[in-house]
Each structure stands twice: as structure tokens, then as C-alpha cells.
Structure 1
């Protein structure tokens, strides 16, 4: 097989002795984030353009993408389709990002598609295709996205629900062919990734809705800011696309106590599935609402029993997400004291995040994810002080513990036998805690 040919199903090039697909992907993190589509298109061409082999629902937004993707994929399965789902980041292994009919891709199949992507990336870089070369190589996110699209094509999925990584316009996922019904979903818009997406809500919204295809359908979550709505309507009008506004409530409760934002995500997912397939299935929505929990989203990972605290994981990563988390805590009061273990990335607004969360907490333990883009814990502490000066009491006590696993041990001690430890601020922090103290750093997305 040449590097430009799609692999034959059943081959297992990833089983090469001594080769680790996770390590190869992690090493690609060193090349950083470089938005653009030329490298990605060249890479996919080498792989046989697998993105053309299935329908897709493309999900963009600042918050709620993974939950919306997970819910939409589950609803599509309930309508009888074979379904792929692509989410990020992962919590333990990269293969978690590529899901087939609700389960992560098996490790052998994952190794096989990543090995083919590795070979295609080497060929693209050697030939200078798409502007790629040793100085501008295929990035980690491009590689794992290509692996997902290749896996979906090989597995014969009818439809894949694809989560964008950063923005939309220049995100590596924006290579889907857009054949009808070409459904795109906007879950929310908040100030994030401002160095790449812009510093205002309207600019960020525009970068995200650029994934909308001419004549397609744009599903809008409830409660979008006016700036985002205006941009969405403008872009949809220019492209003769249909707008579907999802309701705020799906008509069914969700299994995560207090997480009312998940009701909105489920309603958005149901609207996306209706736009994709036509018709509704309220029974499927109600059945899903009773059973599905999204890992790392207001998730109880350890239940307190009078001898140890309850441990919650929530990947809220911007001020909007923190406000939703605070709302969830108010609706489902945790055991006290509530100790928030917080770590964020350096492209966020930690002051606004902590202003939203801190009043709900008794103690803050400030740390840093094991990620090259992590905000140092000392700078996070400065943001706490600024937030409290600006927004005033109530002011929880705060302490700095740079290593996340040492920080978790300290938080457990502070929470005692009746309290709650809430790990939040980034899914990368949640992933660090799930991987264990001896694991290496996490991924960039």
C-alpha cells in the first residue's frame, strides 16, 4: 500500500512492534496550533478523501459541544442509523475521541487508522503538499481528525456527528463536503481563544458559523447572545440557508442533577437530529434523558459515604460555563465544605471564570493542568485576587498547589468526610486526574 492509498479494512499497520499511536499523536503537540485547511485537505487527499463517504452534522460553539454531539449521536442511533461521533479532548486515551455506535474505537482499529495518517502525513510533508513541510507539519489535531474521518469511512457509518476543535472557519473539521441536508449546529458563543478567534462576541460567532454550507441548515441553541444571533442570521441569509432555533427545554429531564444546561444541550441535539432526518421522536428523547451521562460534565466520580468526600468533575472552561456550573450547584446543593480544585488554560479569562464560580465555594485550591497551554497556578491566584477585588464578597479562602494530583490530595483533606471536591476549569485538568499521577501531560485539544 502506498501512503496515498486508503488502507484495506482488516489491515493492522498500527500493530507495528514498539509503535504507540498515542505517543505519536502527543509528539505532534510540539508543532502547536496553526489554523488553516490546506494541510488538512492534502492529508485527506492522501487518504482517499474519507470525509466524502458519509453524511455529517457539524457542531461548533464555545460550550456544550461534546454533550450536544453525544446526545445527537445517541438519538441518531435510536433512529436506526450506524453513527460515528468525534469529540475532544479525550480524558484518558486518544481513541476516546472517535466513537462508533456509542463506544470508543477499539485500540487495534485506532492504531491502524493512526498509522495510515502517520504515513500520509509524512508523504504530505515530504512533497510539500498543502504548504506542509518540516517547518509547517501536519498538526496533532489535524492528524486525529483525519484518523476519525478515516475510521468512520472504513466502518461504513451512515452519519457522523463532528465536534469542531477551535472556532470553525479554519478548524481542521471544516472539510466536510456539505451535501444536503448539511446541518451545522451552534451551541453557544462566549469570549474564548481570543488570540485566534477575535476579541468580541460577533467576531467569534462569525468564525464559528463559517462552517455553514450554502443551502444548508443552521441549528441555533437557545439563549444565544444577540450578537451571535445577528451574525448567524446574516450568514444564513447570504448562503440561502435555513435557520432552526432549538427550544430551551427538550420536554424531558436529564440524569445529571442540577445540570440544567444539559437540558438545553439535549434540546439542541434533538433539533439537529430533526433537521438531519426530518420528523421527531419524543420517546427517544425521553429515553435518552433518563440514561445518558456525559463524562466530565457535572459528573459524580466518587460518592461520599461519611468517611470520604464526594468528588465531582466538570469541564467548565470559560465564564459562561462557570456560570452554568454555579447554577447547577445552586439547584443541587453539594455537601459542605465545597472545595473547588481549579486549573485553566492560558487563553481563557480566569478573572471572569472565578468571579462566576467563587461565590458558590468555601475553598479554592488553585493548580495547573499538565498541558503546555496551562495557566501557571500563581497567575491563577492573581486572577482570584483581581476577581474578588472587582466583584467583592463572599470571598472563599484560596491556596496554590501547582501539581494537580497533590492539589487533589489537599482538596480531599480540606473537604473532609462530609464535603465535596469539585475539579473544574478545564477538561484537561479533569483528564489529568483521571489518568493518574504517573501519566504524562495531556493533549492540546
Structure 2
């Protein structure tokens, strides 16, 4: 047992010792991101991605949820599928999933053992100046792990989520059977551009010649950019609101755990028509209906390519899909909602969701954010919705914004409130564990606790909650 633990720690230390742009400040120039190094890494591993049928998904938000929906339907239809998403919430293994089962720690150690000698050789060449591409990064290695894992697991389809952007992302060494762009909004503007058209161009960098494109982008400017890039590459493109449509069936105020989203979706492409009626979606938030429509259009595209997906797989998959920390209602009494919203657009979706719920007696927000995010934009949307704000700083990522800066941002937002507006009570806790304890101390049965602002905050507090729940069951 001791040897196994030491082996596990050694493997993870090797991986976490790499340059990791999820944990450090992003470079100001995209020259730090390149595909030559990733291509060389995959070549040395035998190019397993060339043997995979891949669904490649980019987008500012919604790509993780869409990926989970596609995977759920494919698995419900009996197809063996892999799912690669990032970042993880609680454990690294979450990034690598086959048929709903997370990669085991033993499998991960074995995969790292296969890749490590190749990475070490590339490191030596880079250090000696014999290779100008440099040392493989954390995300490049995890992407290689995913592709090698899926190849060894003999998956029929692999769903691969872009890490950042698209054009220069490490996942963009694949040649997919479908390219998907879920949405476009402002995030990582110092890398991707400060207009929606520029951001769309980076996301559309995943488009490959002749490969069908599914787009959930609604705004005209980025939509036109994506459409033009698809035309240049000779790709058919299906676009939300033009080629496929979604219509909600039920709406209204309810308690979060009681909400069941039902919707219809209709596809009309040239001579091909397809419809789904009265589908039930297990995920919360009206924005998830757009993601579901994109997932359905992607699956219909696969059917056109000859993939056999039985009709009953669609309602079964969507009704059972789970996507942790995407407006995830952990419990009632008090209601606890965890969401990974980390930019203005995703916070807006969260706020819209909360507006459809019966307002709790007191609404408590636990908030932390990364220093490179639009914190003011997020807080301007969130503060009017809550009675108590608990600011904190997550422990697992050094990009977390200082609490003092969060307090200043809150005050700037409050200074813009109308004179008659209710001002929330603001306090701070030095770490997520203390913040969570304080929120539970304040909350009564009829209250709401919402945790949001960052993937890392959501992961840390979710781990605390699920750990406490497991302990209660065990006792």
C-alpha cells in the first residue's frame, strides 16, 4: 500500500510540476501557446488521436454541459464514448471519463508512466536547445493522457472539450467528425481579443476543411465570423435559430429541486427534418436549453454520418445527465446551489435562473474569483440578488484575487446602487472552508446559499459538502 501511495504521489508530482496556465497568470502573447510541441508529443506516442472519432467542442460557456449531454445520450444509446473536460472540480481523474465512469487512480498512474519517458526526452531536447518547441505543459500532457486513454479503452466516439480558445488549444491537433461552438461572450480577452468577432475567430480555429460545424451562437457579429470561416473551409454549418430551434414547454416559479425543464427541439436542414417533443432536461437554467439544442443538433449530424443512435436514447440521456457544479442544487433546507460561473455571461445565466425561483427568506452568496476575470461585471449582477455576501479566496490556485481587492470591488458596485436599493451585508473569510462554515452558521432552513465565481471555489466547497454528506451516511 505504501509503495502504491508513493508511486501515485510521484506521478502526480511529475504532472503538477509542469507549467500550468490553469494555475499561473496567462502570458500576454499567444506565442506561449503553439501546436508544434503538442504534435511532436503525440507523434512520439503514436498519434492515438488519429484512430479516434472525435466530437470537438469550443465556446466561451456551455461547452462542458453540452459535452456531458452528448456523452449521456451516446451512452444511453449503447455507444462506448470517452469524455475529456477541464478543469476538474475535485480530482484530476474527473477529466477522463468513459461511459460515465471516471478514470481510476491506478489507470491514471499507468498512463502517466507511459507518457513520462516521452516527456522527459522532450524536456532534455528543449533544455539542450535541440528542440525549439520547449517543454510540454500540464494541459498538453493531460490532453495526451485523455487521447491515449480513449484509444486504449477502444471508445467508439470521443468528446473533447477545448481548454482555452480553440485555434492554438492543445486539443486542436485532432481531426474531428463534428466541430461544435456553443456560445461566444467576453472572457480571456487579453489572449483571444476584445471583440466578439475576434473571440469567435479564435474559437472557430477548431473548424477543419469539410467537417460539419454546429453553432449555438446567437449574436450576429460572432455568428457571421463563424459562418465565414466555415465557408472558407468548405464546411456545412447548422446554426441555432436558423437551422435548429428550441422551445420551452414549462416555466414558472418553483423551488429549485422541484424544477423540471421540458422542451421541444426542431431541426430543419435542406431536405432533412427531425424533431424531439416534450424532452426532460435534468440540468437547471434556461441557458441549458440552448446547450441541449446544440447537443441534439450534433447528435443528428452524427446520425447523418451513419452513427446508429436509437430514438429512446435522446430522452433517456437528457433526463439523466449530470454536470456537477453547473447550477447544481446540492440540497434543500437550506437550498444550496453551486455554480462554476466565472465570467459575466455565465453569472447572468445564474442570476436569470435564481429569478425564476421562489425567493428564499435570506439569500447568502459565497464568492471568490480569479484576478484575470471581470470581477466588477460579475458583482454588479450578483450583489442585488443577495442579502449577505461572504468573500473569500480559494486555496488551490494562486490566481485567486485578494480579499481586500474583492472588498474594494464590492464597494465600487454598491456606490452605483440607487438610493432606495437594499445594500447587502458584506463580510469575508480567509479560506473557502471558513466561508462555508460561516454560510452554514447563518443559514436557516428557508434560506439559500449560493457558491459561485470560479471553478476552483466551486470545487473546493463542493468537496467539503460531499465529504460531509459521505461522513453523515457512514455514521
TM-score normalized with structure 2 length? 0.82
Q: Are 1:428 and 2:456 matched, yes or no?
A: yes
Residues 29 and 428 of structure 1: CA distance in aligned 2, closer, same or farther (over 3 Å): farther
Counterpart selection for 1:255 from 282, 290, 293:
282
Which structure: larger Rg?
Answer: 2
Q: Are 1:243 and 2:237 matched, yes or no?
A: yes
| CA distance in 2 between partners of 1:73 and 1:132 (Å) | 41
Which moves more between the two structures, 200-209 or 248-257?
Answer: 248-257
Counterpart selection for 1:197 from 192, 201, 215:
192
Match of 2:444 in 1: 416
For residues 18-50 of structure 1, the C-alpha deviation after alignment (integer angstroms, 9 at most, x for no partner) is 644333322225575542212111111111111
Match of 2:208 in 1: 213
Match of 1:343 in 2: 368
Q: Are 1:80 and 2:78 matched, yes or no?
A: yes
| CA distance in 1 between partners of 2:364 and 2:373 (Å) | 21
Residues 365 and 134 of structure 1: CA distance in aligned 2, closer, same or farther (over 3 Å): farther
Counterpart selection for 2:337 from 309, 312, 316:
312
Within 5 A, what are the aligned runs for 1:300-379?
300-304=329-333, 309-333=334-358, 335-370=360-395, 371-379=397-405
Match of 2:219 in 1: 225
Give the conservation status (yes or no) of the 8 Å contact 1:183–1:217.
yes
Q: Superposition RMSD on alpha carbons, in Å? A: 2.6
Residues 364 and 15 of structure 1: CA distance in aligned 2, closer, same or farther (over 3 Å): closer
| CA distance in 1 between partners of 2:61 and 2:130 (Å) | 31
For residues 327-352 of structure 1, the C-alpha deviation after alignment (integer angstroms, 9 at most, x for no partner) is 11111235331111111112210111
Match of 1:273 in 2: 299
| CA distance in 2 between partners of 1:336 and 1:143 (Å) | 47
Q: How many residues align?
A: 417
Match of 2:318 in 1: 289
SS in 1 for 2:18: helix
Q: Are 1:400 and 2:428 matched, yes or no?
A: yes
| CA distance in 2 between partners of 1:329 and 1:81 (Å) | 36
Give the conservation status (yes or no) of the 8 Å contact 1:46–1:124.
no
Runs of 4+ deviating beyond 6 Å? 13-16, 131-135
| CA distance in 2 between partners of 1:415 and 1:30 (Å) | 37
Q: CA deviation at 1:16?
A: 7.2
Give the conservation status (yes or no) of the 8 Å contact 1:84–1:99.
yes
| CA distance in 2 between partners of 1:139 and 1:208 (Å) | 21
Gaps of 5+ in 2: 27-31, 248-262, 265-278, 468-475
| CA distance in 2 between partners of 1:285 and 1:303 (Å) | 29
Gaps of 5+ in 1: 1-12, 440-445
| CA distance in 2 between partners of 1:336 and 1:199 (Å) | 40
